[in-house]
């Protein structure tokens, strides 16, 4: 027998009231915690992938779309740009590295990206087995691609056209797996990497039969001739690193004004994206706070009511030697137990929510969110929940100091 | 042993009570009889240190209990007095055994489960120890509250209308148990009642 046991017994005695209070707190805490988790992990995922990329160039269009498609591989590309224009940028002294990217095909929904070994170096992807692609039509698989597709080194596969898995298959040309990357936690995990030539080769061959049918079309012959010309080779976009921050000031404007390409700055676009998402997150957070306040009111009401009913019990315990402070603590403890229960189940709920969200995100975007550790903000949340429980319990419990023992005992 | 001298108490100038002196030795029993409205419960609450008298004093085991702080009174009440109320009230969330042990806990004594089971055996509710108190009949509940009053081996047992809600059969049983158990632990037993059935049970009687 101790205060804790009495408090727990009292809470159990009023099962539904306690359940309602804890449930509301669970929902409120769960929502806030889930928002915190999602916010942090999306932010981390997004920032991890833009680290070291100062600028992206691609076809004109939406800069956000260019960033999303080139860095995160989640939106459609804006179009193609001539390789020669990109190569011309190499002469600019501010530019340190240029990583060309060429997209357009996929294998079972995983994008096939033509690039150079610099892309691999940039994301610090290490080869787990096999070797990096070196010849055209050789590919190295991201860890998640390898796991989901069950392709092994030496296997061959045909890609499908487009970025959805239901595009037309390029059956005539098959890719060969030469290596598999270790998991990096970056976008590389969900990509099939090959060199630029592979992507050109696939599409040249795809176009050739069509060209043969219209052999007499002069315009098309000209196009065919151009396609084989090195200068007219096209890529989708390029990731660019500056030698020093001065580049940020001049180069994007130069590109946007003087070339057919556009330059987009990842940090600016991502901040824009997050401020768009922020409105929704703020609304949800406000809603969650309202739920938490209602939880506090519910704790208050249920303790207030039960205290009215238990007035005689309180007088009895006082007559049996309990001090008022002791009973006050007993009542506070009831509020605290509810707060802790609500907090723990809220934290659990948010992890379940995160897990479900991560499963959905993985299916749709091949992004996974797998950090279930307690966030520092969640400790503040714990402090908030405890204060709420204490306050909600303290207000009605102060009545214990005004209780007239003799009168209460005599009344019933 | 408990004695009282010249006890007076008033709720308001119109409602004043003065009470007869009483004395009850260890192992003895005293019946205080009176009709309702004569201040029976007030008298018992004065003896139980729940109310402060306007005048007069109370002695328990030779100690005069005036001019004590409320903490001291609470302590003496918890350790030296066992109180039984008209309707047996309990902490409804707790089981029978926990309600009995609560008496030890709140008085700051060691929780004596063996004694609780022994008393339950003696008072005839040993089968109900793990039930909730609301599942018990009124007679059983009153016996549980006797056990609760005995847990700290008090010097004095005060009972306020312990039998008024009971039928003849239970009334007889409860009063016999009260007398037997209080004399076993050497306590004075003071019963305040208007229940005429108890008149023949107590040689020592005081009328309000």
pLDDT digits (tens, 9 = 90+) for A35-71: 888 888 877 777 777 888 889 999 998 999 999 888 8
Q: What is the mean pLDDT of chain A?
A: 84
| Minimal C-alpha gap between B130 and chain A (Å) | 13
Residue A365: pLDDT band with limits 50, 70, 90? low
pLDDT of residue A348: 93
| H-helix segments, A310-375 | 311-319, 324-365
pLDDT of residue A219: 42
- Asked if residue A225 has pLDDT above 80, the reply is no
Taking CA–CA distances from B74, the nearest residue in chain A reads A321
pLDDT of residue A185: 76
Q: What average pLDDT does range A337-363 have in this prediction? A: 88
Q: What average pLDDT does range A245-266 have in this prediction? A: 87
| Minimal C-alpha gap between B172 and chain A (Å) | 23
- Asked if residue B118 has pLDDT above 80, the reply is yes
Identity of the residue in A13, A310, A409 whose CB atom sits nearest the CB atom of B85: A409
Q: Nearest 5°: CA angle at B78, between B75 and B80?
A: 95
Q: What is the mean pLDDT of chain B?
A: 88
- Asked if residue B66 has pLDDT above 80, the reply is no
A12 neighbourhood in chain B, CB within 8 Å? 93
* Contact at CB, B90 and A317, closer than 8 angstroms: no
pLDDT of residue A370: 64
Q: Is B51 on the interface with A (CB under 8 A)?
A: yes
Max distance between CA atoms of chain A, in angstroms, equals 113
| Minimal C-alpha gap between A316 and chain B (Å) | 8
pLDDT of residue A363: 67
pLDDT of residue A224: 44
A9 neighbourhood in chain B, CB within 8 Å? 91, 93-94, 98
pLDDT of residue A223: 42
* Contact at CB, B101 and A13, closer than 8 angstroms: no
Taking CA–CA distances from A10, the nearest residue in chain B reads B93
Taking CA–CA distances from B95, the nearest residue in chain A reads A9
Kindly compute the dihedral angle of the four CA atoms of residues A312, A317, A320, A325, in this order, to the nearest 10 degrees: -130
| Minimal C-alpha gap between A271 and chain B (Å) | 55
- Asked if residue A226 has pLDDT above 70, the reply is no
* Contact at CB, A1 and B101, closer than 8 angstroms: yes
Q: Is B109 on the interface with A (CB under 8 A)?
A: no
Taking CA–CA distances from B97, the nearest residue in chain A reads A1
pLDDT of residue A114: 92
- Asked if residue B47 has pLDDT above 70, the reply is yes
- Asked if residue A75 has pLDDT above 70, the reply is yes
Q: The whole model's pTM is what? A: 0.74
Per-state percent for chain B, helix, strand, coil, to nearest 5: 40, 25, 35
pLDDT digits (tens, 9 = 90+) for A104-119: 888 888 899 999 988 9
Residue B37: pLDDT band with limits 50, 70, 90? confident
- Asked if residue A227 has pLDDT above 50, the reply is no
pLDDT digits (tens, 9 = 90+) for A192-221: 999 988 888 877 654 444 434 344 444 444
pLDDT of residue B199: 85
- Asked if residue A346 has pLDDT above 60, the reply is yes
pLDDT digits (tens, 9 = 90+) for B157-177: 999 888 888 888 888 888 888
- What are A292's two structure tokens? 């938490």
What's the CA gap between A113 and A102, in Å, rounded? 6
Q: Could you tell me which CATH class the domain B2-207 is placed in?
A: alpha beta
Q: Is B91 on the interface with A (CB under 8 A)?
A: yes
Taking CA–CA distances from A7, the nearest residue in chain B reads B93
* Contact at CB, B93 and A6, closer than 8 angstroms: yes
pLDDT of residue A209: 43
| Minimal C-alpha gap between B162 and chain A (Å) | 14
| Minimal C-alpha gap between A72 and chain B (Å) | 58
* Contact at CB, B45 and A406, closer than 8 angstroms: yes
pLDDT of residue A238: 92
Closest to A331 in 3D by CA, of A317, A344, A342, A319: A317
* Contact at CB, B103 and A320, closer than 8 angstroms: yes
Helix/strand/coil (H/E/C) assignment for every residue in A227-274:
HCCHHHCEECEEEEEECCCHHHHHHHHHHHHHCCEEEECHHHHHHHHH
- What are A400's two structure tokens? 């214990």
pLDDT digits (tens, 9 = 90+) for B96-112: 999 999 999 999 889 99
Taking CA–CA distances from B11, the nearest residue in chain A reads A407
């Amino acid at each position: 027998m101790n205060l804790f046991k009495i408090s727990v017994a009292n809470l159990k005695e009023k099962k539904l009231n306690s359940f309602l209070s804890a449930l509301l707190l669970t929902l409120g805490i769960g929502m806030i915690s889930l928002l915190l988790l999602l916010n942090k992990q999306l932010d981390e995922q997004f920032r991890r992938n833009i680290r070291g990329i100062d600028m992206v160039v691609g076809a004109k269009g939406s800069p956000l779309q260019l960033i999303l498609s080139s860095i995160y591989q989640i939106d459609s590309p804006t179009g193609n740009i001539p390789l020669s224009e990109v190569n011309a940028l190499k002469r600019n002294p501010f530019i340190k590295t240029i990583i060309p990217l060429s997209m357009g095909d996929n294998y079972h929904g995983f994008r096939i990206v033509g690039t150079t070994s610099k892309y691999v170096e940039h994301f610090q992807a290490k080869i787990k087995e096999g070797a990096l692609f070196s010849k055209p039509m050789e590919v190295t698989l991201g860890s998640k691609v390898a796991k989901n597709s069950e392709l092994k080194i030496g296997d061959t596969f045909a890609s499908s056209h487009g970025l959805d898995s239901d595009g037309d298959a390029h059956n005539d040309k098959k890719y060969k797996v030469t290596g598999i990357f270790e998991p990096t936690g970056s976008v590389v995990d969900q990509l099939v990497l090959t060199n630029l030539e592979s992507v050109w080769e696939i599409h040249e061959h795809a176009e050739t039969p069509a060209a043969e049918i219209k052999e007499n079309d002069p315009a098309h012959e000209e196009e065919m001739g151009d396609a084989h010309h090195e200068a007219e080779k096209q890529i989708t976009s390029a990731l660019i690193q500056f030698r020093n921050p001065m580049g940020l000031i001049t180069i994007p404007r130069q590109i946007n004004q003087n070339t057919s390409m556009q330059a987009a700055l990842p940090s600016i676009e991502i901040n824009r994206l997050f401020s768009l998402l922020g409105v929704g997150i703020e609304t949800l957070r406000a809603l969650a706070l309202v739920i938490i306040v209602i939880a506090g009111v519910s704790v208050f009401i249920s303790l207030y009511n039960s205290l009215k009913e238990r007035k005689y019990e309180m007088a009895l315990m006082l007559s049996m030697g309990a001090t008022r402070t002791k009973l006050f603590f007993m009542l506070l403890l009831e509020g605290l137990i509810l707060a802790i229960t609500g907090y723990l189940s809220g934290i659990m709920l948010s992890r379940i929510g995160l897990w479900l969200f991560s499963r959905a995100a993985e299916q749709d975007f091949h992004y996974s969110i797998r950090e279930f550790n307690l966030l520092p903000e969640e400790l503040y949340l714990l402090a908030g929940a405890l204060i709420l429980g204490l306050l909600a319990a303290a207000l009605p419990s102060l009545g214990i100091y005004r209780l007239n023992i003799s009168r209460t005992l005599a009344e019933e | 042993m408990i004695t009282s001298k010249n006890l007076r108490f008033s709720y308001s100038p119109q409602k004043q009570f003065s009470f007869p002196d009483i004395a009850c030795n260890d192992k003895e029993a005293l019946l205080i009889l009176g009709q309702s409205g004569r201040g029976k419960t007030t008298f018992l609450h004065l003896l139980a240190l729940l109310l402060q008298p306007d005048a007069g004093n109370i002695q328990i085991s030779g100690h005069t209990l005036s001019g004590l702080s409320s903490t001291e009174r609470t302590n003496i009440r918890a350790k030296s007095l066992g109180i039984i109320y008209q309707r047996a009230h309990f902490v409804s969330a707790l089981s029978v055994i926990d309600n009995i042990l609560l008496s030890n806990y709140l008085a700051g004594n060691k929780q004596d489960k063996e004694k609780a089971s022994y008393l339950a055996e003696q008072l005839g509710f040993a089968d109900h120890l793990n039930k909730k108190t609301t599942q018990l009949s009124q007679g059983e509940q009153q016996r549980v509250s006797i056990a609760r009053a005995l847990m700290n081996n008090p010097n004095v047992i005060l009972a306020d209308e312990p039998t008024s809600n009971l039928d003849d059969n239970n009334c007889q049983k409860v009063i016999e148990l009260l007398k037997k158990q209080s004399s076993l632990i050497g306590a004075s037993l003071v019963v305040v009642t208007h229940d005429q059935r108890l008149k023949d049970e107590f040689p020592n009687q005081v009328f309000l």
